[in-house]
Amino acid sequence: MITALPCAAPQGEVEHVFSLPHAPETAGGVRRRVRGVLADWNLTADAAADVLLVVSELVTNAIVHALPPATLRVSRDRGEACVAVRVEVTDTGPAAPPSAVDPDEHGRGLEIVSTLAERCGVRVQSGGTCRWAELRVN
């Protein structure tokens, strides 16, 4: 079950925070929830599709490669028009050292994120890892 967590949005932003179950079906469920948020923000279909793809890739990365718990935070700038969306997925760190994977099946998610995002990165902190991306949507 994907749970929306109460949170205080930083000044000038609107954000939604979701607790992510450590299960394969999580990405699909969270995409449905985020799709509703993006519709409320009046994003174009193309911009929403890009944000949803980034959400999917970062959430899947956390579920497959990291230890639980994981949290998704989706925020936007506050203004007359939404011009940027930030996606962050925080987990408690890598589950195991990366293993050899078939490049035809896996391994392009973060490349997709970096292609779609205006800026993206990784922040390692004492409680785990946060992968984030900012997308211009207007």
pLDDT for 38-75, tens place per residue? 999 889 999 999 999 999 999 999 998 899 999 999 99
Confidence class of residue 37 from pLDDT cuts 50, 70 and 90? very high
For residue 54, being part of any structural domain is answered with yes
Residue 126: the pLDDT is: 85
Residue 106: the pLDDT is: 56
Residue 13: the pLDDT is: 52
For residue 101, being part of any structural domain is answered with no
Contact, 92 vs 68, CB < 8 A? yes
For residue 52, being part of any structural domain is answered with yes
For residue 102, being part of any structural domain is answered with no
Determine the average pLDDT of the residues in 110-123. 93
Least confident of 67-71, 74-78, 85-89, 116-120: 74-78
On the question of pLDDT at 80 being above 70, the answer is: no
- Token pair for residue 8? 């205080």
Spatial neighbors of 104 by CB under 8 A, at least 6 apart, are: none
Q: What angle separates helix 26-40 from helix 45-65, to the nearest 10 degrees?
A: 150
For residue 44, being part of any structural domain is answered with yes
Contact, 68 vs 129, CB < 8 A? no
Q: Say how many domains are in the chain.
A: 1
* CATH number for position 80: 3.30.565.10
On the question of pLDDT at 12 being above 50, the answer is: no
Residue span of the structural domain in which 121 resides: 3-94+107-136
The conformation of residue 104, written as its DSSP 8-state character, comes to T
For residue 19, being part of any structural domain is answered with yes
Contact, 131 vs 112, CB < 8 A? no
For residue 99, being part of any structural domain is answered with no
Residue 3: the pLDDT is: 43
For residue 36, being part of any structural domain is answered with yes
Length of the chain: 138
